[in-house]
């Protein structure tokens, strides 16, 4: 996921910033859990599904973090 427009920090209030932090944290947690799940799977299709989901969650978190800079 790539944000088309970076977040303008001058136009964001504390509540919105806290919400973004929670969303980022949730995506980081999802990435960790999906990675754990993929390592537990024997079925290669499910393993790949969890692995891809973890990568997607990590990409989203990274994109949100970079948009705040």
Q: Could you give the percent of the chain with pLDDT greater than 70? A: 86
Mean pLDDT of the chain: 90
Q: Look at residue 6 and tell me whether its pLDDT is greater than 70.
A: no
Give the per-residue pLDDT at 5: 67
Residues with Cβ < 8 Å from 58, sequence gap 6 or more?
A: 27, 28, 31
> Residue 58: pLDDT above 80?
yes
Structure confidence at residue 68 (pLDDT): 81
Q: Are the C-beta atoms of residues 38 and 51 closer than 8 Å to each other?
A: yes
């Amino acid at each position: 996921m790539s944000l088309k427009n970076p977040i303008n920090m001058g136009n964001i209030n504390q509540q919105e910033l806290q919400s973004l932090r929670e969303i980022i944290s949730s995506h980081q947690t999802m990435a960790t859990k999906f990675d754990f799940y993929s390592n537990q799977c024997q079925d290669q299709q499910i393993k790949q599904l969890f692995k891809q989901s973890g990568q997607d969650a990590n990409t989203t978190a990274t994109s949100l973090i970079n948009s705040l800079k």
